[in-house]
């Protein structure tokens, strides 16, 4: 099926486009009343595991806010669940693993999931979404990076100090490596299966990359991201890597195998571009809380992001992290249409 809008794919490959493409991390979610209406009737995991519901909320932001891609509605934590860990989503507290990984025995018990069986619901959601979109925009598949998944498997839930996972990497690094290896392998199979099912590109979320010192980041995070990316059967699908909180290392990140690096809002894109040159594309990086302000302020800030990247191809507009649940969808629409219009000035006519 030919894509009618392949701007994101082109931007990932740093090919010329007439404008800068835009999508928004966590774009399928609670800030949309249309999402909340469905969510009222089903719990979160049921929505993830019912392809019709997942496809429906995946497509909502394409129809409602006009983004240039649909990211499949799911969660990064379905991988540990498929490896055998019991996952519950508690209202108010977020995702919780009832029995976090604590010992060698716990690691041994984890299985290597067969994505076509254990995560079939994700593949079905992708095929259904593709059919329903009929080529309007690309579909983004995703997974968590091994380090970020490890933090949830060991902590059991989100955390303030991440003491348990830090303790593990310092006291028993061998066990941490064994587990990271398992996660990287399972995730490579999982992302390959998503591409096979029709995902046009994939993003790897490393939300907790910024918790580590530069040395530990290389040893416990970056290495497994490289391993993971090298094992994905890509069939031409670009890979975006989002290492939140890591902006001291762009000269190394550009070698990780990803086509694009997604950047949080704590650094100017000019600097990022200078460091990674023309080697990879750049995604980002509006501060998500700017969307609380009024449209004229949002546009000024969006313009600064476009200016900071500067003229030329290879930029995908996004927030520096996920959209917050209490943002007014009208502001998101304003942002999307502004970027679509204004960014034309940053691309040369043939």
For 116, the 3-state DSSP assignment is helix
Residue 93 has what DSSP assignment?
T
158 binds ligand CP3 (CB under 6 A): yes
262 binds ligand CP3 (CB under 6 A): no
3-state percent helix, strand, coil for the chain, nearest multiple of 5: 50, 10, 35
Per annotation, catalytic residue among 6, 75, 259, 264: 75
Minimum distance from CB of 39 to ligand CP3 (Å)? 5
Residues 210-249 as x/- pattern, contact with ligand CP3 by CB under 6 A: ----------------------------------------
Residue nearer to ligand CP3 on the CB measure, 210 or 322: 322
Residues 179-198 as x/- pattern, contact with ligand CP3 by CB under 6 A: --------------------
302 binds ligand CP3 (CB under 6 A): no
Minimum distance from CB of 75 to ligand CP3 (Å)? 5
* 39 among known catalytic residues: yes
77 binds ligand CP3 (CB under 6 A): yes
Q: Other C-beta atoms within 10 Å of 105: how many? A: 8
Tokens linked to 344: 């034309």
DSSP 222-262: IHHHHHHHHHS--TT--EEEEETT--S-HHHHTTSS-SEEE
* 234 among known catalytic residues: no
Rounded distance between C-alpha atoms, residue 21 and residue 346, angstroms: 12
- φ/ψ of residue 89, rounded to 5: -105, 115
Per annotation, catalytic residue among 31, 35, 152, 190: 152
For 181, the 3-state DSSP assignment is helix
Minimum distance from CB of 93 to ligand CP3 (Å)? 8
Distances (CA, A) of 149 to 101, 155, 185, 244, 253: 11, 10, 13, 14, 19
Residue 22 has what DSSP assignment?
B
Choosing from 65, 71, 229, 253, the residue that interacts with ligand CP3 (CB under 6 A) is 71
Minimum distance from CB of 51 to ligand CP3 (Å)? 14
* 36 among known catalytic residues: no
Contacts 24+ apart (CB under 8 A), 256-263: 256/222, 256/225, 256/226, 256/229, 257/225, 257/226, 257/229, 257/230, 258/204, 258/225, 258/229, 259/12, 259/13, 260/11, 260/12, 260/314, 260/316, 262/25, 262/203, 262/316, 262/318, 263/320
* 30 among known catalytic residues: yes
Minimum distance from CB of 242 to ligand CP3 (Å)? 8
Minimum distance from CB of 262 to ligand CP3 (Å)? 10
Residue nearer to ligand CP3 on the CB measure, 31 or 309: 31
Residue nearer to ligand CP3 on the CB measure, 26 or 234: 26
* 93 among known catalytic residues: no
44 binds ligand CP3 (CB under 6 A): yes
Residue nearer to ligand CP3 on the CB measure, 75 or 334: 75
Binders of ligand CP3 among residues 316 to 345 (CB under 6 A) are 322
Q: Which residues bind ligand CP3 (CB under 6 A)?
A: 25-30, 39, 44, 71, 73, 75-77, 94-95, 142, 158, 205, 207, 322
Cite the active site residues: 26, 30, 39, 75, 152
């Amino acid at each position: 099926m030919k894509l009618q809008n392949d701007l994101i794919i082109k931007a990932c490959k740093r090919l010329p486009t007439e404008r800068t493409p835009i999508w928004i991390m966590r774009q399928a979610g609670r800030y949309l009343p249309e999402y909340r209406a469905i969510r009222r009737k089903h719990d979160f995991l049921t929505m993830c595991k019912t392809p019709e519901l997942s496809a429906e909320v995946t497509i909502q932001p394409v129809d409602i806010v006009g983004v240039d891609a649909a990211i499949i509605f799911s969660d990064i934590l379905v991988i540990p669940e498929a490896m055998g860990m019991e996952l519950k989503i508690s209202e108010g507290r977020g995702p919780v693993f009832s029995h976090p990984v604590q010992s060698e025995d716990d690691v041994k018990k984890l299985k290597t999931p067969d994505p076509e069986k254990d995560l079939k619901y994700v593949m079905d959601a992708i095929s259904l979404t593709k059919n329903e979109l009929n080529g309007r925009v690309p579909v983004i598949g995703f997974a968590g990076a091994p380090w970020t998944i490890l933090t949830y498997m060991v902590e059991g839930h989100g955390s303030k100090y991440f003491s348990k996972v830090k303790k593990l990497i310092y006291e028993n690094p061998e066990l941490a490596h064994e587990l990271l290896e398992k996660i990287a392998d399972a995730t490579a199979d999982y992302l390959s299966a998503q591409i096979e099912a029709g995902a046009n590109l994939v993003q790897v979320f490393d939300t907790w990359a910024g918790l580590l010192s530069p040395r530990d980041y290389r040893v416990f995070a970056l290495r497994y991201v490289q391993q993971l990316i090298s094992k994905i059967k890509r069939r031409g699908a670009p890979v975006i890597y989002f290492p939140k909180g890591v902006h001291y290392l762009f000269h190394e990140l550009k070698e990780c195998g990803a086509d694009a690096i997604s950047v949080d809002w704590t650094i100017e894109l000019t600097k990022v571009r200078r460091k990674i040159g023309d080697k990879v594309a750049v995604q980002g990086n509006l501060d998500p809380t700017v969307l609380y302000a009024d449209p004229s302020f949002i546009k000024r800030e969006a313009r600064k992001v476009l200016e900071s990247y500067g003229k030329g191809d290879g930029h995908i507009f996004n927030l520096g992290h996920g959209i917050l649940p209490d943002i007014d969808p009208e502001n998101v629409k304003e942002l999307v249409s502004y970027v679509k219009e204004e960014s034309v000035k940053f691309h040369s006519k043939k």
